[in-house]
């Protein structure tokens, strides 16, 4: 066009953009750059999301890992003949109610002989779980002939002992000896003399710590002296005095020192026993026997050792005696690590090593079944009516708007509704999957109705019209032709709605499902809890071992969600028809 009109007097209608002009070129480049930027933003967004997801999964996964293994002691358990009266030997009730604590105690005593006194014995028995006897009880109930025999059985360790083997203990440094050592006794408080100055290195490190503490005290004194509090000057003077004394002792390289629980623990392994050092000099120590010595013979260089439990006793949950006992079991190859089946086969417990998620899984299944039975037929029927049969008027518009609103109502509101209606008005039982299912059905019903209507709408009108054309009634056309074709979409919507219900805890709080329930529920009116609630409850408990359990339960919940969403995708892929 420009060519034709070129050279005429009146200027032609000029192209407003000359694509060859530098400005136009710049504009084009700008457009390309904008597009590239947008792509980069998109990629960045997806990458960020992927990073977050990976971090979440890796974090949960690594935290959950310890929950799936457990440690137990493989010991010979002697089942005494007098466990039950002779005439009751085949009576399961008597066997079940027999006292197994003495059996456990004797087993442990035999495994580590020489642990004496009430305190140490209690420590020993507390290493194993209070549920350790349960397995043995079940075995004997199943086979009463075991009474009077010795069986090899795993005794489940308590949570702290289990965590010790999972790395929550202390590093142990072993140093061989250079000189001869002589213990004064085999048990109680004893003295060990070692003329070869074997302990001098340890003494030096203790003195170093003392010097550090003296410095810290001085700094404290310095700060206190600046305080405005009335007795600050006196307190500062006191602290300074303490610091000077401490520094003097730290500088005296030969004086004996008393160890406290804020220092790393020092122990001597000698003559088959273990002595915890309480007072330390370069050539002699005083200490308490943790594991008894076999004799008071002098031990040659290299035959005895100095052990350091690097983490101070006050900084760990497990005492020196417990560490010593567990290390002894480990040295005897009696500690066994195995897959934690109990996590999947038992209900909740306050003992982390006994707690399992079976109760929560069964509760979840029961609740979701009730939800599904209620909301699938109601939701689909409502969707069909609204989509295919309902007249379009103000009233149906109102219903439609309200269904959409309902989908956005916070879930706690449904819980309150459940409390007011199902519990207080209908008098249904508290904490029951029945009520939980009813509440969750209310929660997911709008989702299912909306998804089903969308699926029905997506079926081309020609299908229905063809059916009507050959004489089918409206209902026949819908049920024989439209509904089957919409089914994959309805299923997908339903499964996603159910997955939503699977993750809810807030509405369940109101109806009493946030509860400690040990027994695995047997029906929809038994007290039960669900997986997300179990996670919430465990996460709030002080015991460290429950943190792994929490993560473990999260993994199980995630697996459930993946499976459900995967099924939804599979259904869609498998049955979806495109027009």
Partner 1 sequence: MSTKFFTTAAAMAAVGIVGFADAASARDQIRVVGSSTVYPFTTAVAEQIGKTGGIKTPVVESTGTGGGFKLFCAGVGVGHPDITNASRAMRKSEFDDCTKNGVTDVVEVKVGIDGLTIAQSKAGPALKLTLEQAFLALAEQVPDKDGKLVANPYKNWSDIDPSLPNVKIEVLGPPPTSGTRDAFHELIMEPGAEKIPALAALKKSDRKAFDGAWKSIRKDGAYVEAGENDNVIVQKLEANRNAFGIFGYSFLEENAAKLRGVPLNGVAPEYDAIAAGKYAGARPLFIYVKKQHVGVIPGLDKFVGEYVSSKAMSKDGYLALKGLISLPPAEAKTISANATAMKALTASDVK
Q: What is the DSSP letter of 299?
A: B
Query: What residues contact residue 481 under an 8 Å CB cut-off, 6+ apart?
Result: 463, 464, 466, 467, 472
Q: Residue 398 is encoded by which pair of tokens? A: 């109102």
Extract the runs of DSSP E, i.e. beta strands, from 161-294: 172-176, 182-183, 189-193, 257-258, 265-270, 273-280, 284-291
229 binds partner 1 (CB under 8 A): yes
Please, which residue, 50 or 381, has the CB nearer to partner 1?
A: 381
Secondary structure (3-state) at 390: coil
CA angle at residue 325 from 323 to 331, to 5 degrees? 100
- Residue 456's alpha-carbon distances to 240, 446, 449, 450, 464, in angstroms, are 84, 15, 10, 10, 11
Of residues 70 and 158, the one with the C-beta less far from partner 1: 158
Sign for the CA dihedral angle at 130, 135, 138, 139 comes to negative
In angstroms, the CA 470 to CA 524 distance is 47
Q: Does 215 bind partner 1 (CB under 8 A)?
A: no
Tokens at 221, concatenated = 């004194």
Pick the binder of partner 1 from 142, 398, 518, 569 (CB under 8 A). Answer: 518
From candidates 202, 265, 349, 452, binder to partner 1 by CB under 8 A: 349
Contact between 434 and partner 1 by CB under 8 A: the answer reads yes
> Is 54 near partner 1 (CB under 8 A)?
no
Q: Which is nearer to partner 1, 32 or 516 (CB)?
A: 516
CB of 216 to partner 1, least distance (A): 8
Which region, judged by CB under 8 A, interacts with partner 1, from 41-49, 192-200, 242-250, 431-439? Answer: 431-439
172 phi and psi angles, rounded to 5 deg? -120, 125
- Cβ neighbours of residue 553 under 8 Å, at least 6 residues apart? 67, 357, 360, 531, 534, 535, 538
Q: Is 209 in the site for partner 1 (CB under 8 A)?
A: no
Nearer to partner 1, 287 or 352 (CB): 352
Q: In a 3-state reduction of DSSP, which class is residue 115?
A: coil
Which DSSP string corresponds to 488-510? HHHHHHHHHHHHHHHT--HHHHH
- Per-residue three-class SS string for 479-493: HHHHHHHHHHHHHHH
Indicate the residue among 217 and 291 with the shorter CB distance to partner 1: 217
Our finding on whether 156 is near partner 1 (CB under 8 A) is no
Using the rule CB under 8 A, is 223 a contact of partner 1?
yes
Among 88, 547, 565, 567, the residue binding partner 1 under the rule CB under 8 A is 547
CB of 172 to partner 1, least distance (A): 16
User: What would the x/- binding string for partner 1 be over residues 261 to 300, using CB under 8 A?
Assistant: ----------------------------------------
Task: With CB under 8 A as the rule, give the number of residues binding partner 1.
Answer: 60
Smallest gap from residue 227 Cβ to partner 1 (A): 4
The nearer residue to partner 1, 39 or 126, going by C-beta atoms, is 126
- 435 in contact with partner 1 (CB under 8 A): yes
Token pair 């795993």: residue: 154
**What torsion do the CA atoms of 478, 482, 488, 494 make, to the nearest 10 degrees?**
-30
Angle between helices 232-251 and 200-225 (to 10 degrees): 160
Q: Which two tokens stand for residue 390?
A: 């309902």
| Chosen residue from 278, 319, 525, 565 binding partner 1 by CB under 8 A | 525
Q: Which of 578, 159, 170, 519 lies closest to 354 in space, CA to CA?
A: 159
Of 22, 314, 470, 574, which one interacts with partner 1 (CB under 8 A)?
A: 314
Does the footprint of partner 1 cover residue 319 (CB under 8 A)? no
Residues with Cβ within 8 Å of residue 247, at least 6 apart in sequence? 210, 211, 214
Which among 248-256, 286-294, 311-319, 407-415 is the span making contact with partner 1, rule CB under 8 A? Answer: 311-319
User: Least separation, in Å, of the C-beta of 316 and partner 1?
Assistant: 5
Q: Which of 62/405 has CB closer to partner 1?
A: 62
Among 155, 190, 243, 370, binds partner 1 (CB under 8 A): 370
CB of 226 to partner 1, least distance (A): 4
Which CB, 335 or 438, lies closer to partner 1? Answer: 438
362, two tokens: 């069964």
Residue 400 CA to residue 404 CA, distance in Å, equals 6
Query: Shortest gap between Cβ of 233 and partner 1 (angstroms)?
Result: 11
Distance CA 141, CA 353 (A): 23
DSSP 156: E
Residue from the set 246, 282, 366, 432 that interacts with partner 1 by CB under 8 A:
432
State the Cα–Cα distance between residues 568 and 552, nearest whole angstrom. Answer: 25
Collect all residues with Cβ–Cβ distance below 8 Å to 263 and sequence separation of at least 6: 206, 209, 312
Q: For residues 164-203, which are near partner 1 according to CB under 8 A?
A: 168
Residue (230 or 471) nearer to partner 1, CB: 230
Residue 134 CA to residue 140 CA, distance in Å, equals: 10
Q: Do residues 513 and 530 lie in contact, with contact meaning Cβ atoms separated by under 8 Å?
A: yes
Q: Shortest approach of partner 1 to residue 173 CB, angstroms?
A: 18
Q: Confirm or reject binding of residue 120 to partner 1 (CB under 8 A).
A: no
Asked if 480 is part of the footprint of partner 1 (rule: CB under 8 A), the reply reads no
Residue 174, classed as helix, strand or coil, is: strand
Q: Determine if 385 is a binding residue for partner 1 (CB under 8 A).
A: yes
**115 scored as a contact of partner 1 (CB under 8 A):** no
Query: Does residue 430 interact with partner 1 by CB under 8 A?
Result: yes
Q: Give yes or no for residue 227 binding partner 1 (CB under 8 A).
A: yes
- Quick one: 275 or 366, whose CB is closer to partner 1? 366
Contact window for partner 1 (CB under 8 A) among 122-130, 486-494, 557-565, 570-578: 122-130
Q: Which residue do the tokens 């003494």 mark? A: 203
Interface residues with partner 1 (CB under 8 A) are: 122, 126, 130, 168, 223-224, 226-229, 232, 311, 314-317, 349-351, 370, 373-374, 377-378, 381, 384-385, 422-423, 426-432, 434-435, 438, 475, 479, 509, 512, 514-519, 524-525, 527, 537, 539-544, 547
């Amino acid at each position: 066009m420009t060519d034709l009109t070129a050279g005429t007097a009146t200027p032609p209608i000029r192209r407003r953009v000359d694509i060859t002009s530098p400005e136009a070129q710049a504009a084009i480049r700008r457009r390309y750059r904008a597009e590239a930027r947008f792509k980069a933003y998109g990629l960045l967004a997806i990458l960020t999301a992927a990073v977050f997801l990976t971090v979440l999964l890796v974090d949960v996964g690594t935290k959950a890992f310890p929950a799936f293994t457990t440690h137990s002691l493989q010991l010979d358990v002697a089942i005494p003949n007098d466990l039950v009266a002779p005439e009751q030997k085949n009576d399961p009730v008597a066997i079940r109610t027999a006292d197994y604590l003495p059996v456990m105690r004797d087993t442990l005593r035999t495994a580590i002989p020489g642990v004496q006194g009430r305190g140490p014995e209690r420590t020993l028995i507390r290493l194993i779980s209070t549920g350790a006897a349960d397995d043995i009880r079940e075995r004997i109930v199943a086979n009463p002939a075991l009474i009077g025999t010795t069986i090899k059985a795993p005794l489940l360790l308590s949570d702290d002992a289990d965590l010790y083997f999972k790395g929550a203990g202390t590093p142990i440094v072993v140093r061989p000896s250079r000189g001869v050592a002589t213990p004064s006794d085999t048990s109680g408080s004893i003295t060990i003399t070692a003329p070869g100055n074997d302990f001098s290195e340890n003494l030096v490190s203790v003195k170093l710590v003392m010097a550090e503490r003296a410095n810290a005290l001085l700094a404290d004194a310095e700060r206190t002296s600046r305080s405005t509090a009335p007795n600050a000057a006196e307190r500062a003077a006191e602290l300074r005095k303490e610091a000077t004394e401490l520094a003097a002792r730290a500088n005296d390289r030969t004086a004996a020192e008393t160890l406290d629980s804020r220092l790393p623990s020092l122990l001597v392994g000698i003559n088959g026993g273990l002595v915890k050092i309480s007072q330390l000099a370069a050539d002699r120590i005083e200490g308490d026997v943790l594991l008894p010595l076999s004799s008071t013979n002098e031990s040659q260089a290299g035959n005895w050792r100095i052990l350091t439990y690097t983490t101070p006793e006050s900084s760990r949950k497990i005492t020196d005696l417990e560490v010593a006992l567990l290390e002894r079991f480990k040295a005897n190859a009696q500690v066994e690590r195995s897959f934690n089946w109990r996590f999947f086969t038992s209900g909740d417990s306050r003992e982390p090593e006994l707690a399992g998620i079976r109760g929560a899984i069964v509760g979840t299944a029961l609740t979701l079944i009730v939800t599904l039975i209620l909301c699938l037929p109601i939701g689909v029927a409502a969707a069909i009516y609204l989509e295919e049969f309902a007249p379009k008027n103000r009233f149906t518009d109102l219903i439609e708007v309200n269904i959409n609103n309902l989908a956005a109502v916070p879930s706690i509101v449904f819980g309150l509704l459940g409390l007011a209606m199902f519990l207080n008005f209908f008098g249904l039982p508290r904490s029951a999957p029945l009520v939980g299912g009813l509440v969750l059905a209310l929660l997911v019903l709008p989702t299912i109705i909306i998804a089903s209507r969308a699926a029905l709408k997506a079926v081309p009108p020609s299908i229905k019209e063809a059916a009507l054309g050959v004489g089918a009634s409206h209902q026949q056309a819908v049920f024989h032709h439209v509904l089957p074709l919409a089914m994959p979409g309805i299923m997908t919507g339903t499964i996603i709605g159910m997955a939503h219900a699977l993750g809810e805890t807030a509405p369940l709080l109101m109806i009493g499902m946030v509860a400690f329930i040990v027994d695995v529920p047997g029906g929809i009116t038994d007290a039960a809890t669900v997986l997300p609630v179990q996670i919430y409850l465990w996460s709030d408990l002080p015991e460290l071992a429950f943190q792994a359990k929490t993560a473990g339960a999260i993994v199980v919940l995630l697996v459930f969600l993946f499976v459900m969403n995967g099924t939804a995708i599979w259904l869609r892929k498998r049955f979806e028809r495109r027009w």
